[in-house]
């Protein structure tokens, strides 16, 4: 099984248990990418609010995707957690 590091807890887990978030190579836009249809740099986070909160607090998603812009995905995840 594919193992990926969570950007919240930083533990390595089964990728099927995580959200995949990808910054599209061409547009630079950031998407949830459950079926890996979007090509680009990707980051993973466990499907729980604690991990998502940690990821947002540490700006770990932006660091992992090498962007400094606050994305719509982050705003959506923030709304989901708080
Ligand atoms: Zn996690």
pLDDT tens per residue, range 26-37: 999 999 999 999
pLDDT tens column, 2-45: 999 999 999 999 999 999 999 999 999 999 999 999 999 999 99
pTM of the model: 0.94
Domains by residue range for the chain, with CATH? 3-81 (3.30.1230.10)
Question: Could you say which DSSP state residue 11 is in?
Answer: -
Q: Using the mean position of ligand 1's atoms as its centre, give its distance from the Cα of residue 18 in Å.
A: 8
Q: How far apart, in whole angstroms, are the C-alpha atoms of residue 27 and residue 30? A: 9
Angle at 32 between CA 28 and CA 36, to 5 degrees: 90
Q: How far apart, in whole angstroms, are the C-alpha atoms of residue 1 and residue 12? A: 12
The residues placing their C-beta within 5 Å of ligand 1, an ion, are: 6, 8-9, 46, 51
Q: Using the mean position of ligand 1's atoms as its centre, give its distance from the Cα of residue 34 in Å.
A: 17
Q: Using the mean position of ligand 1's atoms as its centre, give its distance from the Cα of residue 49 in Å.
A: 9
């Amino acid at each position: 099984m594919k193992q990926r590091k969570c950007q919240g807890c930083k533990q390595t887990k089964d990728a099927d248990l995580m959200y995949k978030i990808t910054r599209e190579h061409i547009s630079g836009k950031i998407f949830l990418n459950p079926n890996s249809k979007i090509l680009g740099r990707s980051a993973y986070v466990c499907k729980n609010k604690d991990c998502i909160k940690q990821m947002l607090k540490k700006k770990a998603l932006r660091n992992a995707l090498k962007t400094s812009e606050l994305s719509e995905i982050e705003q959506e995840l923030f709304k989901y957690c708080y």
